[in-house]
Amino acid sequence: MRVAEYIKCNRLYFDGGMGTMLQKAGLETGGLPEVYNIEHPDVVLDIHREYVKAGADVITANTFQASELKISSSGYTVEEIITAGVDLAKKSGAKYTAIDIGPLGQLMEPMGTMTFDEAYDVFKRQIVAGYKAGADIVLLETMSDLLEVKAAVLAVRENTDLPVFVTMTFQDDGRTFVGCDPKSAAITLSGLKVDALGVNCSLGPVELMSVIDELIKYSRVPVMVQPNAGLPSIENGNTVYTITADEFSDCMVKIAESGAAILGGCCGTTPEFISKMKRKTVDVPFILPEYERVTAVSSGTNTVIMDNGISVIGERINPTGKKKLKEKLREQDFGYLVGEALQQQKAGADILDVNCGLPEIDEAKTLANAVKEIQAAVNTPLQLDSSDRTAIEAGIRKYNGKPIINSVNGKQESMDDVFPIAQKYGAVVIGLCLDEGGIPETAEGRYKIAERIVKEAEKYDIPKEDIIIDCLVLTASAQQSLVIETINAIKLVKSRLGVKTVLGVSNVSFGLPARPILNSVFLSASFGAGLDSAIINPMSEEVMQSVRAFKVINNQDRDAVEYIENYSGYKTVSGSVNKNEGSGDVKAADVSGGDLKSMIIDGRKELVGTKTREMLKNTDPVSIIDGEFIPALDVVGERYEKGTVFLPQLIQSAEAVKSGFEVIKETMPKNSSGSDGSGKGKIVLATVEGDIHDIGKNIVRMLLENYGYDVIDLGKDVPIDKVVEAAVSNNVKLVGLSALMTTTVKNMKDTITALRSAGSNAKVVVGGAVLNEEYVEFVGADYYGRDARATVKVANEIFNNA
Amino acid sequence: MFDIKPDKNEILRYMGHSNQQVEDGIYNLIDECIEEIKSVIKFRYTYKIFDVQLGIRDDVSCIELLGTNVVFKGNDIYEHLRDCRKCAVMAVTLGIEVDKLIRTMQSEDMLKAFVLDSCATEFIEKYCDVVENEIRVMAQRERCGINFRFSPGYGDFPIETQRDIERILETIKRIGLTVTASSIMLPRKSVTAVIGFTKDVTLMPGKSSCDICSLRNECLFRKGGTTCARGRVYKV
């Protein structure tokens, strides 16, 4: 029987630890265990055979770190090591053999340097080698990062027909090293349709109980458990494990009873552990527990269960009608999107909609990059919003977790496009109640479409809890009599279909005054009809008031904690409503006396914006920049050079100028290049390939921008050709490069060499902790930028702005 | 778990402070950042103790870590361990959430990001002291003292040794510490170090570590008349 069928009705037993046994057999610390497959095959085979004798159904090949990243130094290829390893596992006489794949040992972008596609390729090579060697199962184990796992699972699915089992490693705080919790793992991996999911390593069976319970509760597939032999502890400078085979096997009985279907051991376990575990659990009746049928979306570290109450989906990352966002998308500057995401999260959004649809840009590429940057900054799950199926697929492929897809509709073509993507990657899908005939006028008509969408989804094995219906809002100023039909449709969809619902409310008030009033009342009415989630602007206080109030009414905000936190200082002031006293805005009167220069010198960020706005009434922007900003920064810069102020004070003044610039940018008409019009010159900045320390470079960027330069910031770990391309295509006169490690100074040199040979005439200024004047010559640069201030001086010299 | 008391003067020094006047605003910000960093720290550490012997590789003297395939190269680590029969190799990290906080703060408030970064540096040093103290106790049991923490990249101890330490301590599996192809540790606020067991229970008399530091000529601390944490720790 194939293993995928076998586990549906039988408990499956894996083997136990390999590393500790190899060390007993002579493997030196830090040595590559996988080399034993070729150099000491008998040792490996003996261990496998002992586990078969102990009762293991599956033997895990000795291939844990046989990736090209880890074994390149061994003198053997990935294929040689894996083929030998799988052969030994098969030779042991086991019922099934698994190719074993551990984490790559590199963090994924943007926290680390590993790209999704690189991870995919590395895994693919291992997986294909194991497949060709005849393994029955791909086991991905000791995993921390769901995104890395996703790359591996897709590599299995797209290159083999093998079943894939995934176990994650949770620490004593109930999370993996990168912050993944069991709920998010169970929901995301179930969505990816792995064949089994679970937990291994790090902790013993006792400590893992709560993690296992959580996995069983939310997993749609069998749960696998391979604990260590208790907690590791350091004794005499060596790691030892603390429980006996008897204690271990007793705990495993409880774990089997709770519904774990696949059992085995990890570090510190031996054939004795497996043998005792099997003997004691073999008579425990086999059950596959019912999982919770909830509508859940996850990021890599956080899950929102929509059955627990109403959810807010933040709508602000959508370029429609937003000039600044459009501009940032065109420039591929994702820092702004990240800022919007952080703000919405802080304001109370549970989920964030991300839409990058602009006709003049590559939407698929942009959405994928936006997803990458935003998901590294916030922990709210994302909702991928596009009408283009390629964009949806590009985004979801690199999404860490289980997202919402926005959206599908009742047209057959739309469902044919979107459902296969949701099926493959796992997603909750928003279904819009419209079809070829448009939006039906009646609630009954919209319900019919919702029903069709849910039925069609079933064909793809997408259960109804993974569908959210949007009954669609019509505009009160145009079709007033139909507005109530939306509310009626929500009731029908909830009662007859039992699926979740969502609405984007702001359409209702289009063309009418005081839109927030209408929006929030309509939202309240919809919540009353059973609406589960709303796509709204969480920065809009009126709308959030309705949300927070309703959360008290439906008993979601227990003890009204959130409500009290937000409104304890609530006051109604002469017709206008204020959330709390003392907001950050400073009244113009407060700053009229002071002068802008000293505000900047003193780093009074909160005053500078207001003062700049006031001055703009009768001063042109260029005069403010040249007559106030820059002279003030020069004063602080000189003090910094003399050592009378230190870096935080320089940054403080720079932040102050930044807030002044933001006011200028808001009020100034854009010129064609999208710059703020100060036009001091264009500079490319990058932290070189291989280097990811970039806070220094970011401080330099801020100060350069303060002086009116257009900075094209390529970020960190920037490939050489990207620097060259940016410098040449923008024809810049100055390139700034930073490196913080002796190991990456070479990449700096190579980048500069490549710039020169590409014919760029740009001057190059370099900086970073390990650099000094002498390095300037070594790397072939023109200037040394010791700090942000020095770099500004270099720029001023080159652009004659001194 | 451990009561760490960060030293605000140290944090100021990481921020480049020597003797400038510091406003209350900065002090308040430091207090705020200490709390925020503290709330996201996931302190994890691991170490192992190895027998060492002096050896020769490629005609150059080196330190062999017995029972492993690792040798420590460079004059400075050789000097550090030449009189020791054992050494502890340690790895410490504050976890990835610290990186994330500092990273995301940069789009919001650069000053605060910079202060958070400096606070995290102080915390990692203090946590290293905790681990060092544990190692000191181990050494005392063997009637040994310990010398100071010596890290890859320091003096002529190759930075690439980070990768060897990652392997022999299994830091990826044990504490979630990875090393990139450029030998950068991630999470960023992480330290690896080698501590020698000395015959003498008191500290080994050593030279000020600034003398062997490759950055000594451009060091801003030295120009300001102070030293970095390493210089301070190593001064005997």
Helix (H), strand (E) at residue A578: strand A576-578
CATH number at B8-203: 3.40.109.40
Domain ranges for chain A: 3-281, 304-567, 588-667, 682-798
The model's pLDDT over A17-49, given as tens digits with 9 standing for 90+, comes to 998 889 889 999 999 999 999 999 999 999 999
Q: Is the pLDDT of residue A612 over 70?
A: yes
Asked if omega into A440 is within 30° of 0 (cis), the reply is no
A763: how many CB neighbours lie within 10 A of its CB? 18
Does the pTM exceed 0.90?
A: yes
**Are A376 and B166 in contact (CB < 8 Å)?**
no
What's the CA gap between A754 and A748, in Å, rounded? 10
ω into A506 cis (within 30 of 0) = no
Q: What letter would DSSP give residue A174?
A: S
Tell me if A3-281 shares its fold with A304-567.
yes
Measure CB to CB from residue A28 to each of B69, B113, B181 and give the nearest one.
B69
Q: Does residue A744 register a pLDDT over 50?
A: yes
Angle, nearest 10°, between helix axes B96-108 and B110-141?
160
pLDDT tens-place string over residues A243-263: 999 999 999 999 999 999 999
Band (A585; pLDDT cuts 50, 70, 90):
low
* pLDDT category of residue B236 using cuts at 50, 70 and 90: very low
pLDDT at residue B217, rounded to an integer: 66
pLDDT in tens, B32-58: 999 999 999 999 999 999 999 999 888
The whole-number average pLDDT for the span A578-600 is 66
d(CA B119, CA B189): 11
Min Cα–Cα distance to chain A from B32, Å = 15
CB atoms within 10 A of CB A247: 17
Give me the mean pLDDT over the A572-580 stretch.
52
pLDDT tens profile B203-212: 544 444 666 6
Instruction: Please state the φ and ψ torsions of residue A624, each to the nearest 5 degrees.
Output: -70, -45
**Three-state secondary-structure class, residue A110:** coil
Chain B residues whose CB is inside 8 A of the A744 CB are 182, 184
Q: What is the mean pLDDT of residues A219-231?
A: 96
**Nearest CA distance, A767 vs chain B (angstrom):** 12
* Cα A386 from Cα A734, distance rounded (Å): 38
Question: DSSP letters of B179-210?
Answer: E-TT--EESSSEEEEEEEEESSSSPPP---GG
ipTM: 0.91
Three-state SS for A705?
helix
Please state, in angstroms and rounded to a whole number, the distance separating the CA atoms of residues A164 and A189: 11
Q: Which helix (H) or strand (E) holds B54?
A: strand B44-57
CA within 13 Å, CB half, A487: 15
Task: Map out the domains of chain B as residue ranges.
Answer: 8-203
Whether residue A107 and residue B178 make contact (CB cut-off 8 A), yes or no, is: yes
Quickly count: other Cβ atoms within 10 Å of residue B141's Cβ: 8
* Residue among B16, B96, B104 whose CB faces A178 most closely: B96
Tell me if A586 sits within 8 A of A569, measured CB to CB. no
pLDDT at B154: 87
Provide the pLDDT for residue B203: 54
User: Are residues A530 and A494 in contact, defined by beta-carbon separation less than 8 angstroms?
Assistant: yes
When CB atoms are compared, the residue of B113, B164, B186 closest to A111 is B186
- Residues B16 and B217: their CA atoms lie apart, in Å, by 16
Amino acid identity for residue A306 in this structure: M
For A209-275, the three-class secondary structure string (H helix, E strand, C coil) is HHHHHHHHHHCCCCEEEECCCCCEEEECCEEEECCCHHHHHHHHHHHHHCCCCEECCCCCCCHHHHH
A685 Ramachandran zone, left/alpha/beta (phi>0; psi -120 to 50)? beta
Terminal CA-CA length for chain B = 30
Kind of pairing between the strands at A296-298 and A303-305:
antiparallel
Whether residues B180 and A648 touch (CB distance < 8 A) is answered with no
List the structure tokens of A506.
Answer: 């702001």
- What is the per-residue pLDDT for A24? 87
* Distance (Å, whole) CA A757 – CA A775: 20
Token readout for A150 is 């996703």
Strand partners, A233: A240
Tokens of A356: 């990058």
Please choose, from the candidates A696, A693, A704, A749, the residue with its C-alpha nearest in 3D space to the C-alpha of residue A723. Answer: A749
pLDDT confidence bin for A802, thresholds 50/70/90 = low
CB contact under 8 A, A690 and B108: no
pLDDT tens digits along A424-474:
999 999 999 999 999 999 999 999 999 999 999 999 999 999 999 999 999
> Residue A675: its pLDDT value, please?
46
Residue A582 pLDDT level (bands cut at 50, 70, 90): very low
Whether A293 contacts A538, CB under 8 Å: no
**Cross-chain Cβ contact A690/B181 below 8 Å:** yes
- Relative orientation angle of helices A412-425 and A443-458, to the nearest 10 degrees: 50
CATH number for the region A682-798 comes to 3.40.50.280
Residue A572 has pLDDT above 90, yes or no: no
The CATH code of domain A304-567 reads 3.20.20.20
For domain A3-281, give the CATH number.
Answer: 3.20.20.330
* pLDDT at site A252: 97
Segment A787-799 mean pLDDT: 93
Contact B178 A376 (CB under 8 A): no
Q: Scanning the structure block, which residue is given the tokens 């490196």?
A: A739
Percentage of chain A lying above the pLDDT 70 cut: 96
Which letter does DSSP use for residue A497 in this model?
I
For the beta sheet containing A710-713, the strands, ordered from the edge strand earlier in sequence to the opposite edge, are A710-713, A682-687, A734-738, A763-767, A783-784
Cβ of B132 under 8 Å from any chain A Cβ? no
The answer to whether residue A555 scores a pLDDT higher than 80 is: yes
B54-78 as b/e: b if 16+ CB within 10 A: eeeeeeeebbbbeebebbbbbebbb
CB neighbours of A595 closer than 8 A, spacing ≥ 6?
none
Output the six-digit token pair for B204. Answer: 């080994």
pLDDT at B233: 39
Whether B14 has its CB under 8 Å from any CB of chain A: the answer is no
Residue A683: what residue type?
I
User: Mean pLDDT across the stretch A314-335?
Assistant: 92
Q: Is the pLDDT of residue B221 over 70?
A: no
Highest mean pLDDT among A69-73, A186-190, A565-569: A186-190
Strands (E), A662-790: 682-687, 710-713, 734-738, 763-767, 783-784
- Residue B207 is predicted with a pLDDT of 45
Helix spans in chain B (H):
8-14, 24-40, 75-81, 96-108, 110-141, 161-169, 171-175, 220-223, 229-234
Check if B219 contacts A (Cβ < 8 Å): no
Listed by number, the residues of chain A in 672-691 with a beta carbon closer than 8 Å to a beta carbon of chain B are: 690-691
Are B176 and A144 inside 8 Å of each other by CB?
yes
Instruction: Give residues 296 to 315 of A whose Cβ lies within 8 Å of B.
Output: none
Does residue A131 have a pLDDT over 80?
yes
Round to whole Å and give the CA distance between A328 and B108: 16
- Percentage with pLDDT > 90 across chain A: 83
Is the Cβ of A760 closer than 8 Å to some Cβ of chain B? Answer: no
Name residue, tokens 């606020």.
B189
What is the residue whose two structure tokens read 């919405």? A344
Window 397-456 of A, Cβ < 8 Å to B? none
**Residue-wise pLDDT tens digits, A651-670:** 999 999 999 998 988 876 55
- Asked whether residue A606 carries a pLDDT value surpassing 80, the answer given is yes
Contact A237 B96 (CB under 8 A): no
Q: What CATH number labels A588-667?
A: 1.10.1240.10
Task: Tell me the pairing of strands A500-504 and A467-470.
Answer: parallel
* Averaged confidence pLDDT in chain A: 93
**B110, B118, B177, B185: best to mutate for the A interface, most A CBs within 10 A:** B110
* Residue A11 vs residue B220, higher pLDDT: A11
A402 φ/ψ angles, rounded to the nearest 5 degrees: -115, 110
Identify the residue whose tokens are 């410098």: A727
pLDDT at B3: 81
What is the per-residue pLDDT for B183?
92
Angle subtended at Cα A513 by Cα A512 and Cα A518, rounded to the nearest 5 degrees: 75
> At how many degrees (to 10) do helices A78-91 and A116-133 cross?
40
Considering only A495-499, A724-728, B20-24, which range has the smallest mean pLDDT?
B20-24
Any residues with CB less than 8 A from the CB of A467 and at least 6 apart, and which? A428, A429, A431, A453, A454, A457, A499, A500
Task: Please spell the DSSP secondary structure of A259-316, one letter per residue.
Answer: T--EE---TT--HHHHHHHHHHHTTSPP--PPPP---EEE-SS-EEEGGGS-EEEEEE
The pLDDT confidence band at residue A680, using thresholds 50, 70 and 90, is confident
Neighbour count for residue A417 (Cβ, 10 Å): 17
pLDDT in the model for residue A321 = 87
- pLDDT above 50 (res A672): no
CA distance B43 to A386: 41
Per-residue pLDDT at B205: 41
Q: What are the residue ranges of helices labelled H in A358-429?
A: 363-377, 389-397, 412-425
Distance from CA of B190 to the nearest CA of A (A): 13
Chain B from 190 to 209: CB within 8 A of any A CB: none
Q: How far is C-alpha A149 from the geometric centre of its chain's CA atoms?
A: 13
Distance from CA of B108 to the nearest CA of A (A): 7
**Hey, which of A319-328, A553-562, A738-747 has the most confident mean pLDDT?**
A553-562
How does DSSP assign A185-203, residue by residue?
A: HHHHHHHTT-SEEEEESSS
- The vertex-A770 CA angle with B87 and A723, nearest 5°, equals 125
Confidence (pLDDT) at B234? 37
User: When comparing pLDDT for A584 and A165, which is higher?
Assistant: A165
By the CB < 8 Å criterion, does B184 face chain A?
A: yes
Residues 21-80 of chain B with CB under 8 A from chain A are 25-26, 42, 44, 46-50, 67-70
Distance CA A346, CA A378 (A): 10
Pairing assessment for the beta strands B145-146 and A12-13 based on DSSP bridges: unpaired
